């Protein structure tokens, strides 16, 4: 195998394992030694690829967390027509995936945003940037929905986007404690009622 490809494969394996441990135990409760033990690698191997634990985590954000959030919460809503059906399906798929995941420790983005808030501004900025891209895409589909006659003109798209993100993050946190099936059902039911209240057709 080409040396560069081998190096990339090793880094990817380290990032995947690192994310699993950070997601399960938290960044500050996971040491470099914990990661190396899981991977059966030496400290020299770790510091050959990454300058520090912080540098390692930033590489995880850039290569894995961005992709996870994009594929689950952003890509499914890009360029679609009916915003309410599109958003409902997107949130339903995301929450059903979590509901059937036995190793669910919460929504990865909100977990890390909470953990790093006030503790590491550099990493917090990377995470907030993902949040902002998600928020902008929600606002975009809602604004397009106004133009296309789905969303009532008086609706505050930015406010709706904030509400959707915060309510999803909240229910995902609650689901970790148990009763995930009922919580996901209640969340989706209320989401449908909420979308109905925003609809231009409901007002007509």
For residue 203, pLDDT over 80 is answered with: no
- Given 3.40.50.1000, 1.10.357.10, 1.10.287.130, 3.40.605.10, which CATH number is that of 61-203? 1.10.357.10
Give 116-130 pLDDT, tens digit per residue: 999 999 999 999 999
Q: How far is CA 39 from CA 12, 13, 25, 35, in A?
A: 12, 8, 16, 6
- Given 3.90.1640.20, 2.40.50.140, 1.10.10.10, 1.10.10.60, which CATH number is that of 1-50? 1.10.10.60
For residue 101, pLDDT over 90 is answered with: no
Q: In this prediction, what percent of the chain has a pLDDT beyond 90?
A: 88
pLDDT: which is higher, 1 or 169:
169
What pLDDT is recorded for position 204?
46
For residue 195, pLDDT over 70 is answered with: yes
Q: Give the domain ranges of the chain.
A: 1-50, 61-203
The mean pLDDT of 27-55, rounded to a whole number, is 95
Q: How far is CA 168 from CA 110, 111, 187, in A?
A: 10, 12, 8
Inter-residue long-range contacts of 135-143, CB under 8 Å, 24+ positions, other chains counted:
135/161, 135/162, 135/165, 137/74, 137/77, 137/78, 138/77, 138/87, 138/164, 138/165, 141/77, 141/78, 141/80, 141/83, 141/86, 141/87, 142/83
């Amino acid at each position: 195998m080409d040396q560069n490809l081998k190096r990339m494969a090793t880094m990817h394996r380290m990032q995947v394992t690192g994310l699993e441990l950070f997601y399960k135990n938290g960044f500050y409760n996971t040491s470099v030694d914990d990661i190396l033990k899981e991977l059966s690698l030496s400290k020299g191997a770790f510091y050959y690829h990454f300058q520090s634990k912080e540098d390692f985590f930033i590489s995880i954000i850039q290569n894995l967390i961005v992709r996870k959030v994009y594929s689950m919460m952003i890509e499914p809503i890009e360029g679609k027509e009916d915003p309410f059906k599109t958003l409902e399906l997107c949130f339903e798929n995301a929450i059903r995936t979590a509901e059937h995941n036995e190793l669910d420790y919460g929504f990865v983005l909100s977990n890390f945003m909470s953990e790093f808030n006030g503790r590491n501004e550099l990493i917090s900025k990377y995470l907030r940037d993902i949040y902002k891209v998600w928020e902008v895409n929600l606002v975009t589909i809602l604004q397009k929905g106004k133009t296309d006659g789905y969303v009532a003109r008086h609706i505050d798209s930015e406010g709706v986007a904030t509400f959707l993100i915060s309510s999803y993050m909240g229910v995902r946190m609650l689901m970790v404690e148990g009763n995930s099936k009922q919580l996901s059902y209640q969340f989706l039911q209320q989401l449908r009622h909420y979308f109905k209240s925003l609809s231009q057709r409901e007002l007509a």
